[in-house]
Amino acid sequence: MSFIVIIPARLASTRLPNKPLADLGGKPMVVRVAERAAASGAVRIIVATDHEDIRAACERHGVEVCMTRADHPSGTDRIAEVARTLQLPPQAVVVNLQGDEPLIDPALLAAAAAQISATVPMATCAHPLREAADVFNPNVVKVVLDKAGRALYFSRAAIPWHRDGFAQSTQALPDAYAPLRHIGLYAYSNAFLQAYPDLAVSPLESVEALEQLRVLWHGYPIAVHVTASAPAAGVDTPEDLARVRLHFAQ
């Protein structure tokens, strides 16, 4: 399936200032992310930003960039503006790749894009969890699926709750129980991407602080590609940055 990748990148970050421009083996992080996207088979890769320093860095390395407004409430709104600016057709498939994922598996981008159809306007990815600590960690977002592989619900809670197994212990996972961790990578049809900013915020989204719950609450299906193993973690903290820098140094 033909798809394009749009990478929202903002300079402001409370935990890691100037994160998109952090040096990774001689190139800014946002450029490294674009390079991973290029390996996915995408027909076009565009960085969406509101900051001139990011624009200049991308242009120095030959990465296409599109300037956006500074007041977008989310990355999804930002890439929707880019898709409008580019006048993409309604059926175009757009992958939203965060600008702090320099080690993302390119195959996940193509797998998410392949889930989009006339009846499924949005897709994402997940992988099985193997550690009890992750299942009960509210910073690890879980997802449960229906028989067609579409999301029933996303939560910071441990879902599905293994009633009998957890009655015995919550220190280890019961046999044959592998809940799914959501991977924050999204694909959309452009028609849905343009409709998204007009969807009202849902009560579930407000409670869980999970933007994707807005989509389910309004009745849109989200397909979920399940991969066998966890992808490399993104960069949120100085410790993450040190880990990724070591990877590029090697």
Which segment of 84-88, 127-131, 150-154, 230-234 scores lowest on mean pLDDT? 230-234
In one letter, which amino acid is 99? G
Could you tell me the pTM of the whole model? 0.93
Q: What is the mean pLDDT of residues 153-176?
A: 95
The residue-averaged pLDDT of 84-97 equals: 96
pLDDT at 14: 64
> Quick one: average pLDDT of 114-128?
97
Query: Which stretches of the chain are DSSP H helices?
Result: 29-38, 52-60, 75-85, 106-114, 132-135, 163-168, 190-195, 203-208, 213-217, 238-249
Q: Is the pLDDT of residue 197 over 80?
A: yes
Q: Is the previous residue joined to 160 through a cis bond, with omega within 30 degrees of 0?
A: yes
Q: Is the pLDDT of residue 13 over 80?
A: no
3-state secondary structure of 28: strand
**91-231-77-16 Cα dihedral, nearest 10 degrees:** -160
- Distance of CA 13 to CAs 21, 130, 226, 228, 243, Å? 11, 31, 30, 31, 18
User: Residue 163 in 3-state DSSP?
Assistant: helix
Helix pair 106-114, 29-38: axis angle to 10 deg: 60
pLDDT band at 15 (very low <50, low <70, confident <90, very high): confident
Q: 10 pLDDT exceeds 90?
A: no
Segment 125-140, tens digit of pLDDT: 999 999 999 999 999 9
Which residues partner with 96 through β-bridges?
A: 6, 186
Q: For 37-74, how does the pLDDT look when each residue is reduced to its tens digit (9 = 90+)? A: 999 999 999 999 999 999 999 999 999 999 998 888 88
Q: What is the mean pLDDT of the chain?
A: 94
Helix (H) or strand (E) holding 182: strand 180-189
pLDDT of residue 134: 95
